[in-house]
Homo-oligomer: A and B are copies of this chain.
Amino acid sequence: MEPPDPFESADDDTHGQMMRATYDALRKHGYADLTIQRIGDEFPKSKSLVYQHYDGKDELLVDFLDLMLDHFESGFQGVDDPDPRERLRRVLDHTLAPDVPDEQRAFTRAMTALRGQATHDAAFRDHFTETEAVFRSHFAAIVRDGVEAGTFRHVDPDAVAEYVATTLHGAMFRRATTNEAMDVTAVRRELDAYLDARLGLGDGG
């Protein structure tokens, strides 16, 4: 869902480099200690370009979040296996991987830092509300496909998507804000038990 480098294709232009600089600074400093100056430190061209483009760090970060949302959507669309069980499995394998690569862990921490600020910043909150709607609708589409194909039981795809999205967000949140104390294997096993019971995956389909 979040490929390791969303800036790869954009690295040759100034905007792409600014976005990568924002990401690098956010990973290092979190939200509260982030400054335009620190973003400029990561930017390979003249810092003054960053000041010319943006009035402050929040304006830059909203732009950055838009890019993340596009990237997130294209990641979901890339999961195009015809079997809805397989698409479901891939989303869970990615989000609940027992061993998270350093780059993915850093990304989740950076996004969680921004979400912490969304508690008191309406522009960030609007953004995450939209991101969640995208996640939920993609996930519901997988469940709906499975129901229509007769692979899954006749559940409410939106309710299942809402619930699974909640659990997956909880896992990301807990991992990013504690010393990795969560037993992710247990969480995955219990989530699979829920899906088996609810979607009828254990019925030999």
Contact = CB atoms under 8 A, between A and B. Distances in A.
Given A109-B119, A120-B33, A181-B133, A187 B166 contact: yes
Interface residues of A, number: 55
A132 interface: yes
B116 A31 contact: yes
Interface in A102-139: 109-110, 112-121, 124-126, 128-129, 132-133
A191 interface: yes
Interface stretch (A8-16, A42-50, A78-86, A172-180): A172-180
A117 B173 contact: no
A69 B59 CA distance: 35
Please give the count of copies of this chain that the complex contains: 2
Interface in A164-186: 165-171, 173-174, 176-179, 181-183, 186
Interface in A7-52: 29-33
A158 interface: yes
A113 B109 contact: no
Interface of A: 29-33, 109-110, 112-121, 124-126, 128-129, 132-133, 156, 158-160, 162-163, 165-171, 173-174, 176-179, 181-183, 186-187, 189-191, 193-194, 197-198
8 contacts: A112-B115, A115-B173, A118-B176, A119-B177, A132-B181, A162-B190, A167-B170, A194-B194
